[in-house]
Structure 1
Amino acid sequence: MFATIALSQSAVTGKVTGSADKQPVFGATVSVKGSNVATQTNNVGVYTINVPSGQAVLVISFVGFETMEVPVNNRQTVDIELLEKTTTLTDVVVTGYSSQAKKDITGSVTVVKVADLKATPAANAETQLQGRAAGVTVVTSNQPGDGASVRIRGFGSFTYNIPLYIIDGVPANGLGFLSYNDIESMQVLKDAASASIYGSRANNGVIIVTTKKGKEGPPKVAYETYFGNQRPGKGFDLLNTQEYAELTWLAAKNAGKTPPSSQYGSGATPRIPDYILPAGRMEGDPDVDPGKYRLNMDDIPNAYLIVRANKQGTDWYDELTRNAPMMLHNITVSGANNKNRYLLAFHYFDQDGIVMNNFFKRYAVRLNTEFNIKNALRIGENLALIMSESNQVLNNEEGSDIAFSYRSQPIIPVYDIMGNFAGSRGDGLGNSDNPVARRARAKSDRSHNYTIFGNIYAELDLFKHLTARTSFGGYFNYSNGYFNSWPTYENKENDVLDAFTETNAKASFWTWTNTLSYKQVFNNLHDVQAVVGIEAVENKGRSTESRRQGYFTDALGFRTVSAGSGTQTANGAPFPESALFSLFGKVDYTYNDRYLASFTIRRDGSSRFGPGVRYGNYPAGSLGWRISEENFMRSVSWITDLKLRGSYGIMGNQMIAETNQFTQFSPNNQSSYYDLGGTSTSSMQGFYLSFIGNLAGKWEKNTTANIGIDATLFGGNTEVILDVYHKKTTDLLYQAEQLGNSGTSAANNPPFFNIAAMKNVGVDLSIFQRVDIGGKDGVKLDGTLTFTTYKNEITKLTETVRFFDVDVVDEANRIGGRFVRNMVGQPVSAFFGYKVIGLFQSDDDVNKSPTQNGAAPGRFKYLDADGDGRINEDDRVIFGNPHPDFTLGFNLNASYKNFDLAVFLYGAFGREAINYVKWWTDFYPSFPGGKSKDALYKSWLPDRTNTNVPIAEDAASFSSTAQVNSYYLENASYVRMKNLALGYSIPKKILDRFKIDNLRFYVQATNLFTITDYTGLDPEIIGPDQSFGVDAGIYPTVKNFVLGLTLNF
């Protein structure tokens, strides 16, 4: 009988290729219809299968392609070309230690279109992620080399809200070193079902990146380059010299004072002097005789400087900024055959900042290889070597170069009469620094960063459906910096230090991951996929800093720590080591391609916590129903695929100081000297209690519920993905008050306890639409809309404390209060203070209003929140927050013949921001620096009462500049044209003559326009999680115009 069966079968062989690129399809499933006989194509797309008869039908399937049925018709060779599917719901998605077809995923996963990332020329992929993934909020920085603030589904912690980044299976500190040209795929795991397999590191979501590998075929070369010209966006709207003088007179008049006479004279109207140093001098005055000029850097206090007034007014922002170039070069060589595949890539990126002497450069080499040792054994590696160099400026600080561009008076020129720097040295000129001088002196400062990142791995097919994998990866990072402090002479408050500082730091991380993966289909009904694994992780590092003063020359070659004459200071500290040990498992089950279920469990043990609470368990489960596969849906032709899914699970957060569990003692000259001999003259240094540890501190726990719908409509031309979620974080780590008997230092630096809670609820929506106009040779359009909204709320702090304030930009010292209050019932980083309800219009208005210190016509009128008739600290309220109501990203791609067009718009709506710059520029008495046009032309006057700008006066009070209030609050909503690109590809019939696969030229513009009511430099304001949304002079918006090409052969 067995012989009869064998004789009735015949072997059929063939090759499976893609219809578009004619490349072999590796891993396609070839089965005999109506039987359990099946096989897969090898590395070159070849298959062999036994069929029961010459009239059998082969079924060929592979993710991303249409499933085909091909009759054998007594043939021995059957070659097949697979058609690409028009829907992305069948694409393979990496979901953490494994991959699935997207149609089978029951968690909330966003697949980022990598081709769209290049729409925004930038140094890192984090910035390019903005608006590309629903549920992901990205706030970017315009400074070269800066990363972006990426938050997935709001905020879940006070201590750490950064997502976990996984690159080729290895955790990474962001994507800052990665070029978009390296990325093959990117997924964002947003709920517990998709992310909890990463356990205690998944609290803030997971971003998984797979880098490119070599593809089957002969060696291929890809080259891309672009050159860009960056232009600074709008500056500050400040007064010129004449206007500043008029404001000085107006402010003195309104305050009942005599105007200051040192610079502008003592007449009824101000007189603009010819010289400001010596103060207020006119041409011909013997005090401005150039022969008297004297500057000796060894005797700065006795310098005699002569500075001519800039009567037109210095635009300090314009002096500080400039047009700046940027360029990129990427070259990749790749290939593969049935034995190995390889990819070698070189990357160079160079971006000058629009601020003087500000730049970022990156050089990178990537090598990815894989070798088939035997049919069942594969080994490979992914290796990246990265070196970067930068000179960066302080960002969003009142002591930054950008801040000094609004803190400097317009009458001060950049240079004095001898070409040396001018500044605030002189009467009535304030205490600002010359920002141009600061950047000139920082020209030689450098930061270098060297990183090795990657992994080596091996895969062994133990049995037909069981694969073992081991991967050892990590990174080593070394960084150093060189910074000079030069003596200054031109300022009111000069720096006398002539110092050189050198910093060094090294950090290493390794992870060893071992998994067993199982995948099998039973009876064409039951699809089971499972993975179990074990993982170990370790981090450690060290930093040092050396500093010395007293150098005999300014020559940079002699600026070393050993060359100075002063006392050398050195500090060094190890980064506290940490380790993580984990066990995990996941099972995915599909019945009849219709009913889906998934269960995940992970157990983590972290050295960051005490022995009794070191381990945490993170389970998650999800269910899915592909409604479109039900019989009752067969007649609904316009629904191609429809899936309902839901998930529930727990994730964690272990990111807390490694030392939180330990009680610590420290030496200190004032706190730890003890008279052990009883003589009062023989004290010996000891140790004092500086920190009381918390051995009970444990994981933050994030419980997430998610309901989602995935729909593909109209034959794949429309795709809709909708998620609704509720995320609750408990056992939130918070620094509670320490007992008074703990000692002053320990009480002021309490440990973290698990006592707070927070929640986020929100909606993620992504809509994709494809439209073809005019058939095959017509216009092809596709657009993607992403919508993100979340509501964040602090639900608990401690039993006795319901809020804590954060000093963001030293406003506690400047204004006597703090802008940010984190408070139960409010979102993180809410804005707090007195709410301005108008300006006092008259003495009668003052008398009829609640009692308010400093109340006077033209000053702020505050809300009496408690209604007791008195304005005091009990009347302070939450008056805004920086969280957007929602964000939108819209990407449109169009092509016609050889032309292509890309448009990308991004907007954040319902955001608010604190424009702290207004404290410096809108109020005369704050500091005598640059002042706004509003201060002169819109400030309150008895005959100009229809305004919100208070009276200009040379006086400070509770009702004007001396309290945090809502005057600084602005609507920071905006819509921005992030990208506009037009490309042209040389026709293929021309390229074929030169054996070139593709040659495309393009022009591109970014940040072409921004629609916003915000008056600062940029409505995107980056900052710490507990206190973001406060603008002290953010790095400006940058417009970028790019010319580039891509070449493939």
Structure 2
Amino acid sequence: MKRNLNPPMKRALRLKNLFLTVCFLLIGTAAFSQERTITGVVTDSFKEPLIGVSIVVQGTNTGVVTGLDGDYSIQVPPNATLDFSYVGMEKQSIKVGNQSVINVQMKEGSQMLAETVVIGYGSAKKRDLTGSITNIKGDEIANKPVANPLSALQGKVAGVQIINSGKAGADPEIRVRGTNSINGYKPLYVVDGLFNDNINFLNPQDIESMEILKDPSSLAIFGVRGANGVIIITTKKAKEGQTRVNINGSFGFKAITNKIAMVDADGFKLLYNEQLKNEGNPEYNFSDWTGNTNWQDEIFQTGFITNNNISITGASDRHSFYLGAGYAYEQGNIKHEKYSKITLNISNDYKVTDNFKVGFQFNGARMLPADSKSVATALRAAPVAEVYNKEYGLYTSLPGFQKAQMNNPMVDVELKANTTKAENYRGSGNIYGQWDFLQHFQFKAMFSLDYASNSTRTYTPIIKVYDASAEDDIATLGTGKTGVTQAK
């Protein structure tokens, strides 16, 4: 049943509705009035202002960027969280709470650094570049049991061909853009800003990152020296935090697993006599040659490899240092081949004042290259000869059709082992001073050093072998005189 209200009751009802509406408006105004302004300054690890830092209210599209002095101002609702992000820095999320001023010091992030690639004297975001620039992290190089950093790149980079010879400590052959220059195919190496022709003196454990530049546009700033590609190496520096000591070591073994298949003595005799017969010559008399030798088995060995490193790092607001030392030892695939290297990496930076800092960087190495021998003789020597004559205690000569061209492979491997001694030193580094003045100006003076010293000494011994066709069955190889040669 519909009920009619009298005029006083209608007026009371209207007043009640008006009162409720006003209350809701006041509540909404109070809620709106709780938004407030947050201000602050964003700086880097050296407390220098950062320009263009993105500040966004989490979960919204509301955001601002810092100005020339690293300052910002943003309106935020209650219980808001601000996200601070900047290229090369770790993202930070800060809950506003009751704060009205929030100053933030951004920290460098090693993972974020991969987003920026240095090109000559400039930089670009990695996503804006083509695949012609490849970034390799230091961890991918350090975990390989190799003495030369380039050997660790084999099979990792598209368009870069790396061939390891297998000789102990030998530099691998690297072709970044194929054979495209009449002056050779070796790329240009840039180590901490210094041009180098080789990086065999670096310790893989001391490398922070490697960038391989293959595209002509990215190589333009290097001129003709970058025609064969450029490899930019950045060595490790100290990061702010507590002092750390890292010690690591590794060892392994290497062996030839796929030797070239050769015929045995019977097969060689058959094939050689067939060749002589086809040439119209009489067959060779092998009655005095009863050996059956696989010369590859005689010269090859299972090599031992070890890498040992120690590093000490530390940094504070004003001072940072890095010290790394390493020892690498490698045996070759051929007997008596051995290579060793001692490396040293030192960097030190000191902030004298807020606007002036000095520092230095040094990479050095002492290398003892292997006295390498050739495999070719072992592939060409006839398998019909014995390796060693026990009666005379001498290695044997090869049959007459070969001994004028080559010797018993073991003569080079055993009797001439360690007759060549080489000692190489390499040092590369710089010392600098940097002054920041006014606000956007910087003056930097740097003095660099690239030093190399190589010395080699070779001894020529008197070598005698067993030869049934010689007088007294003993033959002397070469001139029969000893000699010493030296080069620096």
Q: Is the 8 A contact 1:389 1:448 kept in 2?
A: yes
Distance in structure 2 (CA, Å) of the matches to 1:329 and 1:35: 47
| Cα drift, residue 51 of structure 1 | 4.5
Q: Which residue of 2 aligns with 1:75?
A: 99
| Cα drift, residue 208 of structure 1 | 0.7
Give, as a single letter, the amino acid of the residue that structure 1 aligns with 2:407: D
**Unpaired segments of 5 or more residues in structure 1?**
1-7, 18-23, 41-48, 265-272, 277-308, 395-400, 505-1049
Q: Is the 8 A contact 1:446 1:481 kept in 2?
A: yes
1:706-740 CA distance string (max 9 Å, x none): xxxxxxxxxxxxxxxxxxxxxxxxxxxxxxxxxxx
Q: Determine if the alignment matches structure 1 residue 216 to structure 2 residue 240.
A: yes
1:888-907 CA distance string (max 9 Å, x none): xxxxxxxxxxxxxxxxxxxx
Q: Which of 371, 382, 392 does residue 409 from structure 1 map onto? A: 382
Q: Is the 8 A contact 1:28 1:61 kept in 2?
A: no
Q: Is the 8 A contact 1:214 1:336 kept in 2?
A: yes
Give, as a single letter, the amino acid of the residue that structure 2 aligns with 1:167: V
How do 1:82-481 residues align onto structure 2 when only pairs under 5 Å count? 91-103=115-127, 105=129, 108-261=132-285, 263-264=286-287, 273=288, 276=289, 309-310=290-291, 313-394=292-373, 401-416=374-389, 417-424=391-398, 427-428=400-401, 430-431=403-404, 432-440=406-414, 441-481=416-456
Q: Which residue of 2 aligns with 1:502?
A: 486
| Cα drift, residue 328 of structure 1 | 0.6
**Unpaired segments of 5 or more residues in structure 2?**
1-35, 56-62, 468-474
Distance in structure 2 (CA, Å) of the matches to 1:343 and 1:88: 22
TM-score (norm 2): 0.78
Structure 1 residues 223 and 190: alpha-carbon distance in aligned structure 2, compared to 1, 3 A threshold: same
Q: Which has the higher contact order (CA 8 A, sep 6+)?
A: 1
Distance in structure 1 (CA, Å) of the matches to 2:230 and 2:123: 15
| Cα drift, residue 113 of structure 1 | 3.0
Distance in structure 1 (CA, Å) of the matches to 2:304 and 2:119: 39
How do 1:428-827 residues align onto structure 2 when only pairs under 5 Å count? 428=401, 430-431=403-404, 432-440=406-414, 441-490=416-465, 494-496=477-479, 497-504=481-488
Q: Could you say which structure has the higher helix fraction?
A: 2
Distance in structure 2 (CA, Å) of the matches to 1:249 and 1:109: 58
Q: Which residue of 1 aligns with 2:470?
A: none
Give, as a single letter, the amino acid of the residue that structure 1 aligns with 2:351: N
| Cα drift, residue 27 of structure 1 | 7.9
Structure 1 residues 363 and 138: alpha-carbon distance in aligned structure 2, compared to 1, 3 A threshold: same
| Cα drift, residue 314 of structure 1 | 1.4
| Cα drift, residue 92 of structure 1 | 2.6
| Cα drift, residue 258 of structure 1 | 2.9
State the secondary structure of the residue aligned to 1:127.
helix
Q: Is the 8 A contact 1:442 1:484 kept in 2?
A: no
Q: Is the 8 A contact 1:385 1:452 kept in 2?
A: yes
Percentage of pairs with the same residue: 25
Distance in structure 1 (CA, Å) of the matches to 2:132 and 2:442: 26
Q: Is the 8 A contact 1:111 1:133 kept in 2?
A: no
State the secondary structure of the residue aligned to 1:482.
strand
Structure 1 residues 493 and 27: alpha-carbon distance in aligned structure 2, compared to 1, 3 A threshold: farther
Structure 1 residues 27 and 13: alpha-carbon distance in aligned structure 2, compared to 1, 3 A threshold: closer
1:435-476 CA distance string (max 9 Å, x none): 212122232421110112111122222343333333221311
| Cα drift, residue 181 of structure 1 | 0.7
State the secondary structure of the residue aligned to 1:134.
coil
| Cα drift, residue 84 of structure 1 | 11
Distance in structure 1 (CA, Å) of the matches to 2:344 and 2:107: 35
| Cα drift, residue 177 of structure 1 | 1.2
1:112-151 CA distance string (max 9 Å, x none): 2332224542121112222322332222221111112222
State the secondary structure of the residue aligned to 1:141.
coil
Structure 1 residues 50 and 499: alpha-carbon distance in aligned structure 2, compared to 1, 3 A threshold: same
Structure 1 residues 27 and 499: alpha-carbon distance in aligned structure 2, compared to 1, 3 A threshold: farther
Structure 1 residues 368 and 122: alpha-carbon distance in aligned structure 2, compared to 1, 3 A threshold: same
Q: Is the 8 A contact 1:252 1:259 kept in 2?
A: yes
Q: Which residue of 1 aligns with 2:10?
A: none
| Cα drift, residue 70 of structure 1 | 4.9
Structure 1 residues 89 and 374: alpha-carbon distance in aligned structure 2, compared to 1, 3 A threshold: closer
| Cα drift, residue 219 of structure 1 | 0.7
1:936-986 CA distance string (max 9 Å, x none): xxxxxxxxxxxxxxxxxxxxxxxxxxxxxxxxxxxxxxxxxxxxxxxxxxx
| Cα drift, residue 196 of structure 1 | 1.6
State the secondary structure of the residue aligned to 2:486.
strand
**More deviation, 328-337/412-421:** 412-421
Q: Which residue of 2 aligns with 1:740?
A: none
